[in-house]
Amino acid sequence: MNKSEAKKRIEKLRQVIDHHRYLYHVLDKQEISESALDSLKKELFDLEQLYPDLITANSPTQRVAGAPLAKFKKVEHKKLMLSLQDGFSNEDIIAWEERIKRLLTEKEASELDYFCELKFDGLAVELLYQGGIFVLGATRGNGIIGEDITQNLKTIEAIPLELNDLGRSLTPSSDIVVRGEVLISKERFAKINKQQARANLPLYANPRNIAAGSVRQLDPKITSQRQLDFYAWDLLADLGQTTHSQKHQILQKLGFKTHSGDSAKHCLSLGEVFKFREYWLTRREKLPFEIDGLVAQVNNTELFEKLGVAGKSPRAAIAFKFPLKEAQTIVEDIIVQVGRTGAITPLAILKPVAIGGTMVSRATLHNEDEIKRLGIKINDTVIVGRAGDVIPDIIKVFLK
């Protein structure tokens, strides 16, 4: 096979491999066996080794490549990557709606509708595509500056290295930014913890810890072994959308997994939002991933932008968290943790206890005032809860 023939075969192999990757990792379908797909990947790899100059950044062989990094580069987000305000009750959500209605005209307020989707317990990331090709991936960081984790994100099969037809139709200078969640399944989480136990290593507290730690590995091969997944939930590009629900439709056409079917709902009122939450409150255990609530946001993108930002959160969206899960345990120690930004957070080290299927061994005490308010000391018996199923918190101290 000469170089011209090899080039045609390489292009065909890439199309076929990406087609089956999309079926399996995005649509959860399978047309050929894993061994057949492996043979196609092997043929592509061998041809690219014969003609290295034909290797491109969007080739399936480049999902795990290169030497480990010495450190992560910093990346500035073109648009702030915000976090969400939390709500835990219907009253919280009603108050949220009342606040945003005060900033709208009477007509706008009367026409408010919402898009609701599940809130995964994962790590938010940003993906940049230029001319349809994935060129940069970053963590949220502080919302302004994140870390370049491109090579690690390339190992996640659910993230396309090249967008589908809609993305490929764009001019080479067109940029598309996609935001979403990196996460790990409950099944994979359990397997990794079994491996930790067999190796006499500490168990991971929850799936989010593994997902976050995995994408921040300096060696992409380690990230690849974790078998992470990805769901897209936002699109930062004007492709004609006027609602958030249309963003999801476009993201699916670009080749991403998004919330769809009964895991997302266009709600015409808060009553429908409450029903959607109740529906998943009783069914979340059946999901392959951990969720800690849902996200409700103003569906109209123009109104979403008009409502702007309050602090570090968009006014037009809120995380509607699930109720606390609680258990009783003992405080074994109290330590101080220093974050990457220099922020100091006191932590209670707990006798490990299972809450909602996750082993909890520490809880945040927030600050010195919280310690004084609780009157907490080492050896105290406490009630610990997972706020929205995720963040361990001290709910009550049984004072001696």
- Cα–Cα distance between 118 and 292 in angstroms, integer? 8
Does residue 53 contact residue 7 with C-beta atoms inside 8 Å?
no
- The catalytic residue among 71, 119, 194, 257 is 119
**CA dist., res. 399 & res. 17, Å (int):** 62
3 state SS for 48-108: HHHCHHHCCCCCHHHHCCCCCCCCCCEEECCCCCCCCCEECCHHHHHHHHHHHHCCCCHHH
E-assigned strand segments in the chain: 74-76, 86-87, 114-120, 123-130, 133-139, 145-147, 175-183, 229-236, 264-267, 291-298, 309-310, 313-314, 317-321, 325-338, 344-355, 358-364, 381-387, 391-398
**Known catalytic residue at 119:** yes
Picking from 52, 56, 17, the residue whose alpha carbon sits closest to that of residue 135 is 56
* Residues 6+ away with beta carbon under 8 Å from 356: 325, 386, 389
Q: Which of 266, 295, 265, 250 is nearest to 124 (CA)?
A: 295
Our CA angle for 162, 188, 45, nearest 5°, is 40
Q: Do 330 and 398 form a contact (C-beta atoms < 8 A)?
A: no
**In what helix (H) or strand (E) does residue 211 lie, and over which residues does it extend?**
helix 207-215
> Both ends of the chain: CA-CA distance in Å?
81
What size, in residues, is the chain? Answer: 400
Radius of gyration of the chain (CA): 23
**Left, alpha or beta for 92 (phi > 0: left; psi -120 to 50: alpha)?**
alpha
Residue pair 195/273 in contact (Cβ under 8 Å)? The answer is: no
Catalytic residues: 119
